[in-house]
Amino acid sequence: MTAIDRPASGSDGLPLTHRAVFAVALPTTLAFMTTPLIGIVDTAVVGRLGDAVLLGGLAAGAIVFDLVFGTFNFLRSGTTGLVAQASGRDDALEEQAVLVRALMIGVACGLLIAFAAPLIAWAGRIFIGAEPGVSAAMTDYILIRALSTPFALGNYALLGTLLGRGQSGTALGLQIVVNGSNIVLSILFGLVFGWGLEGVAWGTVAGEAIGFAAGVALMAWTYGGAARPSLARIMDRPAFGRLLALNRDIMIRTFALLTAFALFTRAGAGIGTVQLAANAVLLNFFLLGGYLLDGFATAAERFVGHAVGGGRRATFVQAVKLTALWGFIFSFALAALFYLSGEALIALMTTAPDVRQVAGLWLPLAALTPITGVLAFQMDGVFIGATWGAAMRNRMLVSLALFVAALFMFTPLYGNAALWASLHLFLLARGLLLLAALPGRMESEFNPAKAGSPSPSS
């Protein structure tokens, strides 16, 4: 069997069972969960230097790159959907072409970010507004770490290709290489070599570069026995346009999501400093839940994309049902875990007694976020896998409008309760609006003659 051969599948194409869903979801979840470890280790390394200025510079610089890399995460998810569809058609040439297109976009954007690092550092200093020492440390960190962006964004394309092919175990291995190298080299450069904050930044650059080299070598081996797509096919204008359009729609969705959390934080600040801090602590429950549930969203991307690519309606329906079922089961388990262990987790995140007390008061509402958010996560996976980016984007914008309306109408009247209620409304609206659109989109995808061609913005 060559590197691109796949096991025999059932009569409907890809065999889809509970075990198949877990085979994608669990390694993917573990792969995504390795990312927060970098921040923990970097903080520990710089924290051992005993200089609060350097620690503040790291924290401020990390915020800047969280925004940059969060914005460009579309390279991972968009590539997953398109590769999964090519895989469903058994089109290895198009799989490679999608990968090369995504790499071209990622590396080009990464180079632009690297060249624009001084401008990014300047904007970061204005946005953060920290004291001079912290701003100087943040600038040093940004100027070095920006060199990692071509490799980091290229790694998004490589990871998306592996997930689109269903190689989630290999994707986990690649993430371990990237993040493990990052962690080891940050400790080596920062502490052993005594380079401090700059060493942590260089460790990140080296880790991303090692991961990129490993990923490219892996792809060369994976497609070693296959024909290569021609340059004309790679640069095919409609195919390139489809990737760019999908990436654009996912990016708009991401900006809308970031806007919602920024408004949530701003509204909390208006209530009071302690409430702002308590909400910031509690939002970590939502973020952690998102990481743990994202594996099922990625499984939906993979299996839905494969079904759409092969024209397999029954597999599509089964993919939606199984990923939704296990997503909801895990969301209720997470909600119970957060509720029962929330006080202890809050105590780990803050030592301030007043913040602990207020956070504990609102813990039940934060613990519910995995349940109210799971359908939105899973439906995002379905729509990305089917490459229905415009439909997903539009319903995200409607959900954001509902959130903003509820936030500004009710928060002045009901305070923090209305703030959390607005967040739950936002999450529920996202999932339910996408679910309501699903039957029509399915009919258009699998029976276009009966349903009529959908408009790009529907």
Cα 433 to the center of its chain, rounded Å: 21
Q: What is the pLDDT of residue 72?
A: 84
Cα 303 to the center of its chain, rounded Å: 18
**41-55, 73-87, 95-109, 284-298: segment of lowest average pLDDT:** 41-55
Query: 226, 247, 238, 248: which is closest to 96 by C-alpha?
Result: 226
**E strand or H helix at 357:** helix 353-367
d(CA 391, CA 311): 20
Three-class secondary structure of residue 10 per DSSP = strand
For residues 98-126, give the mean pLDDT.
92
d(CA 307, CA 386): 8
Top-confidence residue, 228 or 41: 228
pLDDT at residue 50 greater than cutoff 50: yes
| Angle between helices 237-271 and 416-446 in degrees, nearest 10 | 160
Q: What is the pLDDT of residue 398?
A: 97
pLDDT at residue 457 greater than cutoff 70: no
For residues 145-153, give the mean pLDDT.
93
Three-class secondary structure of residue 13 per DSSP = strand
For residues 239-258, give the mean pLDDT.
88
pLDDT in tens, 264-291: 877 877 787 778 778 878 887 888 888 8
Q: What is the pLDDT of residue 130?
A: 67
Q: Is the pTM of this model over 0.75?
A: yes
At 40, the pLDDT band (50, 70, 90 cuts) reads low
d(CA 42, CA 32): 17
Q: Which amino acid is at 447?
A: N
Query: 102, 96, 98: which is closest to 228 by C-alpha?
Result: 96
| Partners of 10 in the β-ladder | 13
Average pLDDT over all residues of the chain: 86
Long-range pairs of 98-102 with CB within 8 A, sequence gap ≥ 24: 98/161, 98/164, 98/239, 98/243, 99/157, 99/158, 99/161, 99/219, 100/229, 100/234, 101/234, 101/239, 101/240, 101/243, 102/75, 102/78, 102/156, 102/157, 102/160, 102/161, 102/243
Q: What is the pLDDT of residue 405?
A: 96
pLDDT in tens, 359-385: 899 999 999 999 999 999 999 999 999
pLDDT at residue 455 greater than cutoff 60: no
- Across 82-106, b (16+ Cβ under 10 Å) vs e yields bbbbbbbeebbbbbbbbbbbbbbbb
**42-46, 162-166, 344-348: segment of lowest average pLDDT:** 42-46
At 28, the pLDDT band (50, 70, 90 cuts) reads confident
Q: What is the pLDDT of residue 454?
A: 47
- Across 331-361, b (16+ Cβ under 10 Å) vs e yields beebbebbeeebeebbeebeeeeebbebbbe
Residues 6 or more apart in contact with residue 147 via CB below 8 angstroms: 114, 117, 205
Query: DSSP secondary-structure letter at 226?
Result: S
Top-confidence residue, 303 or 31: 303
